[in-house]
Amino acid sequence: MSAGHEPVAGERLLATYDLVCEHEQDAFARAREIAFEQTVELPEACVPPALVRAVVGHVDDMVRLGKRRWRATLSYPAEIVGGEVPQLLNLLFGNVSLFTGVRLVDLVWPPSLLAAFGGPRFGIAGVRKLLPQADGRALLMVPIKPIGLTARELGALAHRFARGGVDLIKDDNSLADQATAPFAERVARVAELVRLAHEETGSQTVYIPHISGPLERLPEKVAILKREGVRAALVSAFTQGLDALRYLAQSSGLALFTHPALSGAFFGRTHGLAPEVVYGDLLRVLGADGVVYANAGGRFPIEEAQCEATNERLRRPLGSIRPAFPVAGGGVRVETLPRWAARYGPDTVFLIGGSLYLQEDVEAATRALVQALAWQGGRTVE
């Protein structure tokens, strides 16, 4: 528990689960089973009644959704989270992950947990302050890749994108600390060439290196980013561990964008966690200023409604927690960008990779995309 964020007695964390059950009594029995499994993890007969009252989850609501489908809302005492990420995950989906037919679909956060985790340090407004040229419009992000290029080659790519006026350049999530482009060398080279583009053309580009690797080396890597004047970082929150996001948000002073690698393993249709809860709630509350997700219409089988749900959760009012940028990627192409920009509105980042790499003149193509977003401005098409 962080100092100054003591839990308020009586505050509760609400978690809603969709259940696959035959009958109403099965659904109630399953919900009660979850309430015990996620807290005391013992049969009721072994638990002193005072602890049942103090610790075990409550089944607050049950709704029938359809044939064999029920929605149960449970509440847990906020203080058993202890303000720590691993225990938060354990409470929400630890042992029930080993059941079948249980899917976490909603969360309602008590103020003490929001204060303990703290959310984005920049948020949408803070990221916009780094990018004054993009006022009122959606942002363009591009990746530099692939793995196997040298730091010098990645820097040359970044230079072309920055000269084209791109807002954000991120390392590919596969760029870790491999021998072909070691972290420190890559960051120094790319940051240098983004600065050069700024001197040449006045472009304002924020470079987002991928910070990853052994947890004990994260402080050293943050120091390297600071030394190179970098103001943002990409965190693969699921491969790195979600607590690494919380740690970097609380300590690094960097604007943090998360990458969704590995997250899809959680998103079973009837068992697991709902993407909009993971991307829109968990990552935001743990400190993401921008959340990269795979957009509909691309190479991943994702529905647009799911992306809209994530967008809405990242931007909605949430107590003391700042809104965060949705970053739609993996399904946005040069030719579909205007449509997505109209659909998702100005408080969105669009990540364009492969289709931009296929353009003959990458700098000119980048410039055209930024102009398309500027032209689109704040307008959204319903």
Q: How far apart are the first and last CA of the chain?
A: 44
Report, in Å, the least distance between residue 344 CB and its own copies. 19
User: Closest CB to its own copies among 239 and 380?
Assistant: 239
Which residues share a beta bridge with 264? none
- Residue number with CB closer to its own copies (126 or 241): 241
Output 72 or 211, the one with its CB closest to its own copies. Answer: 211
8 Å CB contact between 79 and 9 = yes
CB of 327 closer than 8 Å to CB of 257: yes
Distance of alpha carbon 293 from alpha carbon 278, whole angstroms: 11
Instruction: Write down the least CB distance from residue 163 to its own copies, Å.
Output: 19
Q: Minimum CB separation from its own copies for residue 354, in Å?
A: 5
Q: What is the DSSP string of 287-328?
A: T-SEEEEEPTTSSS---HHHHHHHHHHHHS-BTTBPP-EEEE
Smallest gap from residue 77 Cβ to its own copies (A): 9
Check residue 123 and give left, alpha or beta (phi > 0: left; psi -120 to 50: alpha): left
Cβ proximity to its own copies, 201 vs 239, nearer residue: 239
Q: How far is CA 172 from CA 149, 177, 219, in A?
A: 11, 12, 21
Shortest CB 270 distance to its own copies, Å: 10
Residue 104 CA to its chain's centroid (Å): 17
CB of 83 or CB of 165, closer to its own copies: 83
